[in-house]
Amino acid sequence: MSESSPPIVVLTDGEANLAHYMDLLRTQGARVLATSRPYEVMLFVERHRPSGVILRACLLPDPAEDFLRQIRDFPHRPFVILTSQDTTEAEAPSAELADLRLAEPYRYSTLLEALEYARERQRRSDAMESTPRAERDSASEFTPRLRRLVQLGLRLTELERDRDSLIATGFEAFLEISNTEQGALFLRPGENSPLELLRRTSEWERELPAVELLAAAVIGDPNLRIATLGEGSGAPVLLVPLLEQRVPIGAAILGRPRGGEPFSESTIDLCTSLAAQFSTNLLNARKWEDLHRMAVIDQLTGLFNRRFFERQISVELERARRYDRQVTLALIDIDHFKVINDLNGYAAGDQLIRAAAEIIRKSFREVDVVTRWGGDEFAILLPETGKPRLPMPGEAASVNYVERVRKAVECADFRRVLPSLTGRITVSAGVATFPVDARDKESLFAAANLALRRAKRTGNNRVCVAGEDLQMGVSPPLG
Kindly report the CATH number assigned to the domain that includes residue 118: 3.40.50.2300
C-alpha–C-alpha distance, residues 39 and 356, integer Å: 67
- Percentage of the chain exceeding pLDDT 70: 86
Q: What is the pTM of this model?
A: 0.48
Q: Are residues 286 and 316 in the same domain?
A: no
Q: Are residues 110 and 168 in the same domain?
A: no
CB 408, CB 363: distance < 8 Å: yes
Please report whether residue 139 resides in a domain.
no
Per-residue confidence at 71, pLDDT binned at 50, 70, 90? Answer: confident
Taking residues 322-351, what's their average pLDDT?
A: 91
* Domain membership of residue 403 as a residue range: 306-472
Please report whether residue 99 resides in a domain.
yes
CB 49, CB 66: distance < 8 Å: no
Q: Are residues 167 and 274 in the same domain?
A: yes
Q: Are residues 277 and 387 in the same domain?
A: no
Q: Kindly report the CA angle at 123 between 117 and 124, in degrees rounded to 5?
A: 90
The total of structural domains in the chain comes to: 3
Q: Are residues 178 and 255 in the same domain?
A: yes
Determine the pLDDT at residue 453. Answer: 95
What's the Rg (C-alpha) of the chain? 31
Instruction: Identify the domain boundary among 256, 291, 326.
Output: 291
Q: Are residues 316 and 283 in the same domain?
A: no
CB 177, CB 152: distance < 8 Å: yes
Please report whether residue 148 resides in a domain.
no
Please report whether residue 320 resides in a domain.
yes
Instruction: Identify the domain boundary among 291, 323, 357.
Output: 291
Closest CA to 252 of 284, 207, 211, 210: 211
Please report whether residue 415 resides in a domain.
yes
C-alpha–C-alpha distance, residues 3 and 123, integer Å: 16
Q: Helix, strand, or coil here: 168? A: helix
Instruction: Identify the domain boundary among 84, 115, 130.
Output: 130
Phi, psi of 469 (to 5 degrees): -95, 45
Kindly report the CATH number assigned to the domain that includes residue 175: 3.30.450.40
pLDDT at residue 368 greater than cutoff 80: yes
Q: Are residues 229 and 252 in the same domain?
A: yes
C-alpha–C-alpha distance, residues 337 and 14, integer Å: 56
Per-residue confidence at 138, pLDDT binned at 50, 70, 90? Answer: very low
C-alpha–C-alpha distance, residues 370 and 387, integer Å: 17
One DSSP character per residue, 239-271 reads EEEEEETTEEEEEEEEEEEGGGPPPPHHHHHHH
Please report whether residue 152 resides in a domain.
no
For 384-457, list the strands marked E by DSSP. 427-434
Q: Do strands 52-56 and 196-200 pair parallel, antiparallel, or not at all (unpaired)?
A: unpaired
Q: Are residues 37 and 114 in the same domain?
A: yes
Please state the separation of Cα 180 from the chain's center in Å.
28
pLDDT at residue 58 greater than cutoff 60: yes
Q: Are residues 315 and 278 in the same domain?
A: no
Please report whether residue 141 resides in a domain.
no
Q: Are residues 319 and 281 in the same domain?
A: no
Q: Are residues 193 and 252 in the same domain?
A: yes
C-alpha–C-alpha distance, residues 115 and 80, integer Å: 10
Please report whether residue 2 resides in a domain.
no
Q: Are residues 286 and 342 in the same domain?
A: no
Kindly report the CATH number assigned to the domain that includes residue 398: 3.30.70.270
For 294-315, how does the pLDDT look when each residue is reduced to its tens digit (9 = 90+)? 778 888 998 999 988 998 899 8
Average pLDDT value over all residues in the chain: 82
Per-residue confidence at 72, pLDDT binned at 50, 70, 90? Answer: confident
